[in-house]
Structure 1
Amino acid sequence: MNKLVARGLIRAERSKGRPSQRGDLPGEAARLLARLGEPEAYARPDPFAEDSLVARRGSDGISVGSGRFAAASGRALVAADLAEWDAAGTRLTISAAGRSRLRRQAAGGEAAFAAQHRELTLVAGDGEAGPTLRNAAENPLAWMVRRRGRDGEPLIDAASFEAGERLRRDMTSAALLPRMGSEFGATRVDGGGPRDPASAADHVIAARQRVRGALDAVGSDLSGLLIDLCGFLKGLERIEAERRWPARSAKVVARIALGRLAEHYGLEREATGPERARLRLWRG
């Protein structure tokens, strides 16, 4: 047999069951990837069906099913580096490459490859500021709330994430961060400007008071880190390099700082319901 033909047959045999070089996925594997791309989604081996996976959403305490898939679909995603198993081999989650693929598919066209590096989310403004689009891929807080540690828990909880976002909104409203574009509400050369300059000034002053109160509550030893992390969106590695901290130490300090900030804002770390509320007696 011709050596070139033999090599072609061997190559074709090895490629069976794998995604093609163009990145094509079997239909069921593509659907599983879409499920894993949903918030807090994961897949586990089905205890009642051999060689099957069960996709779920939510935490282990409260989760809902979102479909059953063949285990071969999970293996196809892992082989394509689009999903990964945890250390125990019991939880399959989407990888960074998998999220990039979904963003690329959603964008389509010429913007597909640029979109795979972005996570554009609509962020509500504070006060007079309207909602704006922000690239969540550049937000270290968004990375920390998605990243899970060895125990399977996120690096920061939802309360800490919201606390950091609230601090950034106040810093933006207080004009403490550099603007990357035109400020359409600023005074113009022709004398035009905000309808009520006095109210605009009061809005800025109130935001600065909130920022000052939050940083004072956290403490001077942690306020600088929060300004870099939440305000200037510096990553943990950059913070460690600039402060000459040991590797992976910024993660621990950031969790402490954001926890204090959440306590200052009164954000609860655990959900409470009527069964945990105080008993109140109404008398006529």
Structure 2
Amino acid sequence: MASHVEQMIEGPDGARQRVLVHLGESPLSWLRARGRLSERHFVAGDTLRADWERAGLGARVTMRWDAAPTTGGRRGPGRAIDPTLAQMAARERFDGAIRAAGPGLADILWRVACAGEGLAAAEKALGWPSRAGKLVLTLALDRVADWYRVP
């Protein structure tokens, strides 16, 4: 099995983006394990990723077990199922955290924390010089940690 796969994932702005994902370990875990990311930054990024997944923004690779929409019958005309309250709350938290990170920082934050793209691959995709991503990522994670009130 390949250790990296290319995926198309919806970004924070709603546009689909191609990312290179490492299947064995999240980039945030990798950085934390090597002392390049503080526990506070890791928790902030992991919380952002969890909200992204809870909101249903991640790639869907398994079957959805949501109830099928009804069509006619005693319940009335068919309609799409509304997102759950938990999904809506997670989407609001995710959107707030991305806004807190700011427009210049949200791209690297989303690519690494949510999409699981490695730091070097994210730098390359964004056209940034080598090692610039870690600095920008930690600035973004600082803002997100403040927004999530991570001690």
TM-score after normalising by structure 1: 0.40
- Size of the alignment, in residue pairs? 123
Partners of 2:142 and 2:61 in 1: how far apart?
29
Q: Which residue of 2 aligns with 1:218?
A: 101
Q: How does 1:1-284 map to 2 (within 5 A)?
A: 137-147=24-34, 154-184=35-65, 186-188=66-68, 201-268=84-151
After superposition, the C-alpha distances for 1:132-182 in whole angstroms (9 at most, x for unaligned) are xxx9833000000011xxxxxx11111110111100111111111111212
Task: Find the aligned partners of 2:117 and 2:37 in 1 and give their Cα distance.
Answer: 16
Q: 1:155 to 1:175 in 2, by over 3 A?
A: same
The CA deviation at 1:243 is 1.1
Aligned AA for 1:187? Answer: A
How many percent identity over aligned positions? 30
* CA apart distance, 1:190: 8.2
> Structure 1 regions of 5+ residues with no counterpart?
1-113, 118-134, 148-153, 192-196, 269-284
Name the aligned partner's letter for residue 242 of structure 1: A
AA of the residue aligned to 1:230: A
Deviation at 1:255, TM superposition (A): 1.2
Q: Which stretches of structure 1, 4 residues or longer, exceed 2 Å deviation after superposition?
A: 135-138, 187-191
Task: Output the CA distance in 2 between the equivalents of 1:249 and 1:217.
Answer: 20
Where 1:220 maps in the other structure, the secondary structure is coil
> How much does 1:201 deviate?
2.3
What is the CA-CA distance between 1:206 and the residue it aligns to? 1.1
- 1:8-38 CA distance string (max 9 Å, x none): xxxxxxxxxxxxxxxxxxxxxxxxxxxxxxx
Deviation, structure 1 residue 189: 7.5
CA contact (8 A) 1:145 1:155 kept: yes
Counterparts of 1:201 and 1:247 in 2: how far apart (Å)? Answer: 41
CA distance in 1, matches of 2:93, 2:105: 16
Query: Alpha carbon RMSD of aligned pairs, Å?
Result: 2.3
Instruction: Note if contact 1:137-1:143 (Cα within 8 Å) is conserved in structure 2.
Output: no
Q: Secondary structure at the match of 2:104?
A: helix
The CA distance in 1 between the partners of 2:51 and 2:145, in whole Å, is 14
Q: Which has the larger radius of gyration?
A: 1
TM-score, length basis structure 2? 0.72
Separation of aligned partners in 2, 1:212 and 1:179: 20
What's the CA shift string for 1:110-142, capped at 9, x where partnerless?
xxxx8xx8xxxxxxxxxxxxxxxxx98330000
